[in-house]
Structure 1
């Protein structure tokens, strides 16, 4: 069967970011229409349909807590211009100005550039909405290689659905459409091992088109590369001599061990690739410091013991939204994986992730029978927001 290459995964990540920008822009357009910020406006005896005033939108973004101040709001709208989502009504300005100028969404005036990539993303959204709006048995809890995956679909059944819904005429055409959806990060194989093939393999939607995005997400830089270490792809690398921020893990003897993990803001170090710095400028830095190689678990906990009736463990569901440098935690172990370390200043800590928690599922996918590399890959190749079910010991 056809496996998926790293080149396809890398391209899918790039297109995923494009898709997120398009979704954010469309959600903003609909909100502005709903609140009558976009409307027909007159200037010098001429009517400009479906326009908004730049200054009014900046006020709106700040009032709705979508931007902290006017400079940030201006930067957000400039991002919209750079990605061909909005433009000045007369195309006189290439920058967004805090003034009483008219701007318009390109989708409202028919000037939105519909290249092949945009068409595929829009078609993927239409297919997603069609599936989610009708009662059907396509998305179910299923198993592949002994692992249970929620809201998954069988490739061959998906092809049948595409033909039945007249999205494709033949199985070959439906398979090619599905491969484009995967390459545009709209669907994915449940363990990211295979490209789309007409088979019994399981796939899931990688994008939740209905999730309400914040406009601020336009300024968040997502990690572009996946680097592996002996411990976990989540392990941050030492990037400077600054010791003001520490990434901590606790060894069995309760001694504190730290590693440098300087966290950058979402507006700095744009030349780096996010959480995993691979910049050549770092080649003369001190040796890389990996997270604590010793397990933080007090003792090994087999899966049978973890799931035994009456076991002293409680389940929690946590939602973690990555920032500019990642999610801020390290997974380790095998069947089950556990949280090895948590950045005290990162998103994971804020969401309630703690060391020694066992990872049960990630975005609805049961991972109790997976090793840490599989779990890490699921998160790194998935959406920026992860919903993670964990188990932790009661009164440890």
Structure 2
């Protein structure tokens, strides 16, 4: 009898950890809100006097909620309060007394921690905040001589793109870095955090005439995403696997597949690069429920089907997966990740297989399908790898991966089994 299969989910796309990416997106939304409060006419953030004491660069809870309702189409004031409390829990804003005063829709005074220099800045958090500031300044209609332009490379037109050398020069000129070396370091961090990326994801950041764009999710990141981000687990492990997307990102006819061990996560609408896929679909793979019997199933004797949550897989031997038998249909699939990851779940104790595929994710767009066995990742053989090992191999490739997969019919009996 084969061992019970367990699950690991692949859902990341950069060298930044899952936890830092979730926190980073919350910080970017907070920084976007801080800039909006400062730029409002009249400014919401300003010096105020309360109880005979002067407070600098602060705002009232009621004004913040008013602004959210007026400018972000949040009709429920209670909902706006919950969103601002998420920012408070993530050290974006705090009560002026710095006590554990929960954000309320009243006249109490609050500050953004970046405004009073109390934000606990770290190497992991800084690229997200600077990335949002850079994005806001470069995309502002008031910015003159912006480096975001239309460029053509290898016959493809890229809108709002820029050269790495231009970004380095702009960052130094506008004081976001003290030297070109610091600017190059910032550029590399922005790539690693998936804030900017090479137009074909073929290069890391370089101070050269190499073309980059802001990740398309930057334009779609919004305050309401705080709920989704705040509910996500901050680590990838057996107890809190991460998968798929929230239901609002997927059409009702293609809602994400949920299992008892998975939750929905996502950022926003995605721009995917076209990928190629060829080969037959999974025509020969049967579905069955746990405990059911199928007398017509050609499974080898004494081997039963094993339940995999929402789907069922017929066990297969590594011997058959690695062979060139006629019943094995082999394909190569190239997947370009988005800001959330590749969009599929793997299970198995070797060989491992695709358990579920996010219908709105990059893997589905590339042609990956559930119940396909993964035999190689970037030409590295993984037939005998358990799902945990396979996950780590995939996570080492933050931008794009090439998978060798196998569609299969269950193996026929061997001569040894016939003799038994």
TM-score, scaled to structure 2: 0.47
Structure number with larger C-alpha Rg: 2
Q: State the structure with bigger RCO (CA 8 A, min sep 6), 1 or 2.
A: 2
TM-score, scaled to structure 1: 0.49
